[in-house]
Chain A
Amino acid sequence: MGEVGGGEATTGFEPVIRVLQTLALPLGHVAWNAWILAYKDSLVKESPPQESPPLSPQLPRSGLESTHPAIMHILTNLTQNKIIALLLRFLAAILTIAAITLVLQAFKPEWTNQVIVLIYLLPVMLSTVLWGLVPGILAAFLAFLAFNYYYLVPLNTFQVHATQDLILLTIFLIVAVVLAQLIGQARQGERLARSREWEATRMYELISALAPLQDISAVAQALADRTREAFDCTQVEVTTLEKKGDPSITARAPESDSVNLAPTARIRIETAREKEGELRLWLAEGNLSAEEQRLLAAFASQGALSIERIRLARGEKRSRLLEESDKLKSSLLNSVSHELRTPLAAIKASVSSLRSQTVDWNAPERSELLATIEEETDHLNLLVGNLLDMSRIESGALKPHRTWNALSEIVWGVAGKMRTQLQDHQLMINLPGDLPLVPTDYVMIEQVFINLLSNSIKYAAPGTRIEISAGTELDFMHVRLANQSPPVPEDHLALIFEKFHRITAADRVTGTGLGLSICKGMIEAHGGKIWAANEPGRFVFHFTLPLTLDGALPDSPREIDNG
């Protein structure tokens, strides 16, 4: 090192500048590129290196323009090779010390050794800041050697005679190395902190993107998109496994056809419990650094957690539904076994009596027994129908087949069907003659009226009046069924439409406790509402039905031509 400028540059400014030019230009470029490499290594990709080189802008470029692309080319090729990059940084550190030595040798200032020593600390510091810890320590040693060689007696040797000089040299070495180390550590710490911060930001973005998602394909897509943004890669593919009824999903970012090339990296998306899928990514060139691989693993496990969360939430919902349906089934079984046995007992008793050889039934007795059998059979049929309706409502299989119907036709039809049951009550039907047609499933609305009437018959005293009326309100038909049953406590009004809800003791009134909840299910399937209200002197069921079918009113009927 020393021999490079040892004998030269004894007078004036020009030789110094010449030396500087010849040395600094390649040095500048090397340093700049080394700086870029160092920077690339540091993973901080959100702030890519600026266009202007930070080290050498003030240095003249003339005469070396032609070599510049060549150097760049070599350097670009070298990006593949980190060892050479490291060597470049060492070279940069060596050149820095050489430059300082040259400058000092060129000026030969009349300064004491103590000042020179301090000046030598500068390149050491600079090397550490720019190229890292190890080049910094190398610079410290070189500075130590150079100082020893040029400034300590005997000059131009590596020998030291004076104890004082020895102390100075030793302290310099210690200070330089410690300084280099401290700066290097601080720099590395800063670099690490910045890369951690960058990783944390990406993770944060990923987590906030995944948090609100409720289905697996959305998670796969978000994971693919975020990975692509974070890793600056050409293609990301996330595939989830087929599981528990979920199909296998492949999400790609950017959206494209599948890539034939082998991926740069692939990582399993898995939780502690099971594998959920795989994440593959393709880089334009190169490989993932250790930090990037770590981050990718974190991404994949975050994705796995989100998928697991969705599965668990779904499982919980399912088990809640199952629990509810279990509860329903057990209370249904209780209620049903009792309800079904009662008519069966009556039928069995009547039939076995009729078959009995010991009694000779007269005609009225026979007829009475036979009537019991028929009525109880109808009752059983009604119960079974209720159960079927309820299970349809519960499973969401209740789909009304809506056609244009006249409400009066349905109401009068029900009144005819229930004539026997209604014989102890006065049924009044008050329907305006100009009531429009309403799109309904005839059988369902018929069932609604049957259930509401059965309920009224059960709770309203014999001889009282049951009144059915209807009118239109905006887009709805509003139907009222009023009876004179005792009022229902206000806090029970909504509950009476729940399954198995009874306001009176179960033994007073018979039935499955399903009638009103079936009404609710059927009216809601029509897009209407049902509720109940206490009014002065009466209790009223209200329900509404939309007046339009697919947003349209009925066509006015076409009169055909005579013929």
Chain B
Amino acid sequence: MDKDPTILLIDDEPQILRALKTILAANHFKVALAATGEQGIAMAVAQPPDLIILDLTLPDMDGIAVAEAVREWSRVPIIVLSVRDNEKDKVAALDKGADDYLTKPFGIEELLARIRVALRHSEQAIGNKQSIIKAGPVTVDLARHVATMRGEEIRLTATEFKLLAYLTAHADRVLTHQAILTQVWGFEDFDHVEYLRVYVGQLRKKLEQNPDDPQLILTEPGVGYRFKAGE
């Protein structure tokens, strides 16, 4: 990334485009605007951006389809914008390759934080896989099969370890129930959300100061979980 990263903003609402363009430009991003899905895809092909912000409701096509189309040839991070009560669409977009989502209306700080996380992850993805994951106060050593919290070892079962490793490896990103279940348990268990509830509860007991009011493993209502590392 030589200088200011480029963000492609695909949204059909001029007010949003106008506000975000101003705000993002002020935060040292270059902004490209697209009002339709078609146009967005074309622009992503012509001048590959560093990140895409994609509204799920577009006039010409489904936002999920746009994410899917972009994913066919690019690993550019995609943050989708959606409204409340549309968890199904959020989950679908995430499962089709979107990296994160924000519910409208959102605070700009939150958007900027998500953008920074997504950009950092896309840089990391280029680099090689680490055997030691550091996420906030937690360190997971995949080779030695040891997890530590502020230097102290946490005793975990095999399932808990695998779950924590997956969550921390994707720290600060939203992970859908289905994604976690398939990664940790396997495809045949993808709809057993109850496993997750139980194991996330156990992990919180071992990691969180107040397991009822978690600060590390956050619930994304109706969507999944997010391991909060720093930002």
Contact = CB atoms under 8 A, between A and B. Distances in A.
Interface residues of A, number: 32
Contact of A377 (B105, B189, B213): B105
Of the candidates A389, A409, A560, A563, the one having the most CB atoms from chain B within 10 angstroms of its own CB is A560
Interface in A279-304: none
B197 A405 contact: yes
B222 A406 contact: no
Nearest to B85: A443
10 shortest interchain CB distances as A-B pairs: A554-B194, A404-B194, A557-B195, A562-B158, A557-B198, A403-B193, A442-B222, A412-B212, A443-B222, A560-B159
Contact of A406 (B157, B177, B192, B197): B197
Contacts of A563: 158
A428 B199 CA distance: 25
A561 interface: yes
A561 B159 CA distance: 7
Nearest to A441: B222
21 contacts: A377-B105, A389-B85, A401-B87, A406-B197, A409-B197, A409-B201, A412-B212, A413-B219, A415-B213, A437-B198, A441-B222, A442-B221, A442-B222, A443-B85, A446-B221, A557-B199, A558-B159, A558-B189, A560-B158, A560-B159, A560-B184
Contacts of A560: 158-159, 162, 184-185
Interface of B: 84-85, 87-88, 105, 107, 157-159, 162, 177, 184-185, 189, 192-195, 197-199, 201, 212-214, 219, 221-222
Given A403-B193, A412-B213, A443-B84, A559 B158 contact: yes
Contact of A557 (B162, B194, B222): B194
A413 B192 CA distance: 22
Contacts of A412: 212-214
Nearest to A405: B197
Contacts of B87: 401, 442-443
A463 interface: no
A555 interface: yes
Contacts of B222: 401, 441-443
A404 B199 CA distance: 13
Contacts of B213: 412, 415-416
Contact of A443 (B107, B157, B214, B221): B221
A374 B110 CA distance: 14
B174 to A, nearest CB: 14
Interface of A: 374, 377, 381, 385, 388-389, 401, 403-406, 408-409, 412-413, 415-416, 429, 437, 441-443, 446, 554-555, 557-563
Contacts of A416: 213
Given A406-B201, A443-B85, A563-B158, A558 B221 contact: no
Contacts of A415: 213
A559 B197 contact: no
Given A412-B212, A443-B222, A446-B221, 12 more contacts: A385-B85, A404-B194, A404-B197, A405-B193, A406-B197, A409-B197, A416-B213, A429-B212, A442-B87, A555-B195, A557-B199, A560-B184
B221 A413 contact: yes
B120 to A, nearest CB: 26
Contacts of B162: 560
Contacts of A554: 194
Nearest to A377: B105
Of the candidates B177, B199, B221, the one having the most CB atoms from chain A within 10 angstroms of its own CB is B221
Contacts of B177: 403
A440 to B, nearest CB: 10
Contacts of A401: 87-88, 222
B158 A381 contact: no
B126 to A, nearest CB: 28
Contacts of A561: 158
B219 A409 contact: yes
B108 to A, nearest CB: 11
Contact of B157 (A385, A408, A555, A559): A559
A385 B83 CA distance: 10
Given A413-B219, A560-B159, A437 B194 contact: yes
Nearest to B91: A401
Contacts of B221: 413, 442-443, 446
A413 B219 CA distance: 8
Contacts of A404: 193-194, 197
Contacts of A388: 85
Contacts of B212: 408, 412, 429
A204 B205 CA distance: 74
A231 B32 CA distance: 79
Nearest to B88: A401
Contacts of A442: 87, 219, 221-222
A444 B167 CA distance: 26
Given A406-B201, A559-B158, A385 B84 contact: yes
Contact of B197 (A389, A413, A437, A441): A437
Contact of B195 (A405, A406, A441, A558): A558
Nearest to A398: B85
Contacts of B107: 374
A304 B79 CA distance: 60
A415 B158 CA distance: 32
Contacts of A443: 84-85, 87, 221-222
Contacts of A429: 212
A58 to B, nearest CB: 88
Contacts of A413: 219, 221
Contacts of A559: 157-159
A295 to B, nearest CB: 58
A381 B194 contact: no
